[in-house]
Amino acid sequence: MEAVLEYWPVLIQGLWVTVWVSSCIILGAALGAIMLGVLRVSRTGVIRVLSMVFIECIRGPSALVLLFWVFYALPLLPGMPQLSPLAAAILVLALDGAVYGAEIVRAGIEAVNRGQADACHALGLSRFQSFTKVVLPQALSQIVPAFGSLARGMIKWTSIVSFIGVQDILYVANNVRAQTFETTIVFCLLAVLYWILTVLCGLVFRELEQVLPLNRALRAARAPSAYAPAGAAQ
């Protein structure tokens, strides 16, 4: 145990890389998911189909295969860049998160009552205004919890980045293992660290749920408040 802990500076550094990569891909996936999710419910059939094909193409071969392809095979095609391990890792994992997230966003948007969009139309809001001010804020109440468990999963996805040489916690720990031969301890430590990271991520998303506009409104309605209860004479 002590032999392993002597390596704490490099372990911390590896952990930091994992945290950093996780944050980047979760953020990137969130933005990508909203954009793809919107395309997925587009009124134009062609856009809907194209976005669906794109989604299936990204998630079909799994993140691992895609990562190897982007890092080893893509640069061999004429005119394609050789990405750094970190860039390739973030790109692929964020993209993969975005396509899974897109389905969450689509389901969230479709779950918002049709009448809300009708009301926006009747009030003269444009489709964009109605999406950003009315539909999306409500859909978020359904999107955020589901995206939270996706994000937890995405932290675990980052373990594959060590394959292409990103020096994350798994990469560093493997080196420590090679030098100390403390296999059991190293892997138990890794399991605990990943578990803690995913739990923290879950907590962050639970906090995020609290501030969503629709959740705030429903909480206010549940709590006894200064306002007269429903049905009271006005």
Judged by beta carbon, residue 46 or residue 230, the one nearer another protein is 230
H helix runs in 78-168, sequence order: 85-111, 114-122, 127-130, 136-157
Minimum distance from CB of 204 to another protein (Å)? 15
Residues that bind another protein (CB under 8 A): 56-57, 59-62, 64-66, 68-69, 72-73, 76-78, 113, 115-116, 118-119, 121-127, 129, 133-134, 137-138, 141, 152, 156-157, 159-160, 163, 170, 177, 183-184, 187-188, 190-191, 194-195, 198-199, 212-214, 216-218, 220-221, 225, 227, 229-232, 234
Judged by beta carbon, residue 12 or residue 65, the one nearer another protein is 65
Tokens of 131: 């999406």
Minimum distance from CB of 77 to another protein (Å)? 7
Q: What is the number of alpha carbons within 13 Å of residue 4 lying toward its C-beta?
A: 17
Q: Which residues touch 173 (CB under 8 Å, ≥6 apart)?
A: 11, 14, 186, 187, 189, 190
Minimum distance from CB of 222 to another protein (Å)? 8
Q: How far apart are CA 190 and CA 99, in angstroms?
A: 28
Q: How far apart are CA 127 and CA 213, in angstroms?
A: 20
Minimum distance from CB of 12 to another protein (Å)? 18
Judged by beta carbon, residue 5 or residue 65, the one nearer another protein is 65
Judged by beta carbon, residue 5 or residue 127, the one nearer another protein is 127
Judged by beta carbon, residue 1 or residue 123, the one nearer another protein is 123
Judged by beta carbon, residue 5 or residue 199, the one nearer another protein is 199
Q: How far apart are CA 120 and CA 126, in angstroms?
A: 8
In contact, 197 and 152? CB cutoff 8 Å: no
Q: DSSP state, 44? A: S
Minimum distance from CB of 216 to another protein (Å)? 8
* The amino acid at 170: L
- State the residue for tokens 């009124």: 43
Report the run of H or E that residue 208 belongs to, with start and end. Answer: helix 183-211
Minimum distance from CB of 174 to another protein (Å)? 8
